């Protein structure tokens, strides 16, 4: 049974989601502001995932997401937003949210997205081989960490790690965006859905280019992405 931290100031919605997700086999703890959410994180056992609203009474959920990504880089985070504005979604994904839903959302879709991100996290923790090496890059799926040469470890989110693992499995061979989304996000991309592109952009930024300045992850129009080893 997965333990989920829900951070949302809409107490009626929290009650609904707690009841729904409890019936779906999850254990939820609800917090209604950033301060109580952070106190819970530092004082209790780390949850398996966080459902985080963008707008909170004592701050912006995106600020809490930024802090989560610094202190808990592997913790899956699913963002919610009452406004559902593209800017919020893009910023959330840029800051490392694993997935994003606009409110009001169908509890069944939320459940499916939550299960998908938890599966990705569990799979990453048990994936073999323990180290994938392509050129100067080493990636550990179990730790969700990459290293280039002997430089500092680069922590990746669950979604970033799944994308990198898929690309490293066939270096030099492009993977179609829809196929990559199914592998890494466990869902198909919808029209105007830029979530995969944002995860790839974050991954590119974290890994940086090759020593000669060429990109590690290359986009081919109409053909998808590939890792250039």
The verdict on 156 and 206 lying in the same domain is: yes
CATH number of the domain that 133 lies in?
1.10.10.10
Are residue 102 and residue 181 in the same domain, yes or no? no
Cα 92 from chain centre = 10
In this prediction the pTM is 0.77
Clarify whether residues 97 and 142 are in a common domain: no
- Do residues 74 and 155 both lie within one domain? no
Separation between Cα atoms, residue 65 and residue 70, nearest integer Å: 9
Helix, strand, or coil here: 121?
Answer: helix
Element (H, E) at 61: helix 61-71
The domain total for the chain is 2
pLDDT in single tens digits along all 229 residues of the chain: 799 999 999 999 899 999 999 999 999 999 999 999 999 999 988 999 999 998 888 888 888 999 999 999 889 999 998 765 677 778 888 888 999 888 888 899 999 999 988 987 776 555 556 889 999 999 998 888 999 988 889 999 989 999 999 999 999 999 999 999 998 888 888 888 889 999 999 999 999 999 999 999 999 988 899 999 7
Q: Do residue 18 and residue 81 come from a single domain?
A: yes
C-beta atoms surrounding 142 within 10 Å: 14
């Amino acid at each position: 049974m997965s333990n989920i931290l829900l951070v949302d100031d809409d107490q009626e919605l929290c009650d609904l989601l707690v009841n729904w997700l409890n019936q779906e086999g999850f254990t939820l703890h609800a917090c209604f502001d950033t301060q109580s959410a952070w106190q819970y994180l530092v004082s209790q056992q780390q949850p398996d995932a966080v459902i985080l609203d963008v707008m909170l009474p004592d701050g912006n959920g995106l600020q809490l997401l930024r802090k989560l990504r610094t202190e808990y880089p592997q913790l899956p985070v699913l963002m919610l937003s009452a406004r559902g504005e593209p800017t919020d979604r893009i910023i959330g994904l840029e800051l490392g949210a694993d997935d994003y839903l606009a409110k009001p959302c169908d509890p069944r879709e939320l459940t499916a997205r939550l299960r998908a991100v938890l599966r990705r996290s569990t799979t990453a923790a048990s994936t073999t081989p323990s180290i994938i090496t392509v050129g100067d890059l080493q990636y550990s799926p179990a730790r969700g960490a990459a290293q280039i040469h002997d430089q500092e470890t680069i922590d990746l989110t669950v979604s970033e790690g799944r994308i990198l693992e898929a690309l490293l499995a066939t270096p030099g061979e492009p993977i179609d965006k829809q196929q990559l989304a199914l592998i890494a996000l466990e869902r198909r991309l919808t029209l105007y859905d830029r979530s995969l592109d944002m995860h790839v952009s974050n991954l590119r930024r974290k890994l940086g280019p090759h020593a000669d300045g060429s990109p590690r992850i290359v986009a081919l129009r109409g053909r998808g992405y590939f890792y250039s080893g």
